[in-house]
Structure 1
Amino acid sequence: MDQQSKKLRIMMNVAIFAAVTGILAQMEIPLPLIPISGQTLAVGITAVVLGSRQGALAMICYTAIGAVGIPIFSGFSGGMHILVGPTGGYIFGFIAAAYIMGVILEKTSFTIPMAFIANIIGMFITLLFGTIQLKIVLDLGWNAALAAGVYPFLIVGFIKAFLASWIGIIIRNRLIQANLLIVESKRKAA
């Protein structure tokens, strides 16, 4: 495969996973301040399938599409006001989480147990970014910020981390077998 074809394949995978994130973002359970959505499930799957660089690029693409106003964020919302609002930190956290999850897997192995550990770490990275911005934007104390931005998401977060690990490894292995995934790390499959 020539260099141009590899770049095109990477761009297509990045775009597909940005779109998947936007689709899963619309699956939500409303809560008073921040809904539980499928976004974090999509971030975990993306990082497991694409790895660090491509996973982070997919989340940057997702963020940029939403920033220009396309309603790709949870609740069919979009625009810069979402990114600078109370919940914007979670979206910025997706980029860091996808990258770090991918790095963990690239340095260890693409297996369900390692993917689960990486997803748990990614969950806490996302929650950290989100809670800090929530605290600042709404001028909350740490206890109130944690009560609104972390505690309601922990149990569901562990469930999503497992699902993202399991689904992500299956998709990754099938894409590698079909020669549809450009693997940038030395490790190719679980």
Structure 2
Amino acid sequence: MKSREKLKMMIVSALFAAMTAIMAQIEIPLPLVPISGQTFAVGLTATVIGANYGALAMILYAALGAIGLPVFAQFSAGFSVIVGPTGGYIVSFIISAFIIGFILERTRFNFTMAIIANIIGMIMSLILGTIQLKYVADLSWHAAMVSGVYPFLIVGVIKAVLSAVIGILARKRLLSAHLLS
């Protein structure tokens, strides 16, 4: 029975990786780093399925893109994206999903904690992504912050709140339907 539940959660993780790929195509273009639905998907994933399976979903998402499937923003793909200027954001999704899920698993899966966890996860993604953006694009810290952080703060908080609220509601429904372990 345990292996059956594990398989079910692995399939759910794969579905969330697919959802992230779809959400990556919803974007508002900006000069260096576009605003996309990816971070919303990361928060939603972790809020619904927790730390380990949320991180697994983001590892799968990043791996699919790295091997050439066009799952990143603007249907881009390849290892060159991962090591490029915006690749730090993609890698940060793994850590962010784990942190969001970890906070919720150690506290409670409720709206307040989900909002706090998602904001922390969003901040982690911005920090890690901006570090890679700075070094790969050879920017000053100021230029990296202007390109990789400031345009995303307000939108990031909005996406964090939405992914928290929708995630908690979805989690409750999936648990009551016995679709989550």
Query: 1:175: which partner in 2?
Result: 174
Query: 1:185: which partner in 2?
Result: none
Q: In the aligned structure 2, how far is the partner of 1:77 from the partner of 1:37?
A: 13
Identity %: 60
Q: Map 1:39-188 onto structure 2 (within 5 A).
A: 39-182=38-181
Amino acid aligned to 1:124: I
TM-score normalised by the chain length of structure 1:
0.94
The secondary structure found in structure 1 opposite 2:73 is coil
Aligned residues: 181
Tell me, which stretches of 5 or more residues in structure 1 are unaligned?
183-190
Amino acid aligned to 1:41: F
Tell me, which stretches of 5 or more residues in structure 2 are unaligned?
none
Q: CA deviation at 1:60?
A: 0.2
Q: CA deviation at 1:92?
A: 0.5
Amino acid aligned to 2:32: L
> Larger helix proportion, structure 1 or 2?
2
After TM superposition, where is structure 1 displaced by more than 4 Å over at least 4 residues in a row?
none
The secondary structure found in structure 2 opposite 1:163 is helix
Residue deviations 1:97-128 (CA, integer Å, cap 9, x gap) = 00011110011110111100000000010001
CA RMSD of aligned residues (A): 0.6
Q: CA deviation at 1:10?
A: 1.1
Query: 2:2: which partner in 1?
Result: 3
Q: In the aligned structure 1, how far is the partner of 2:105 from the partner of 2:122?
A: 18
Amino acid aligned to 2:59: I
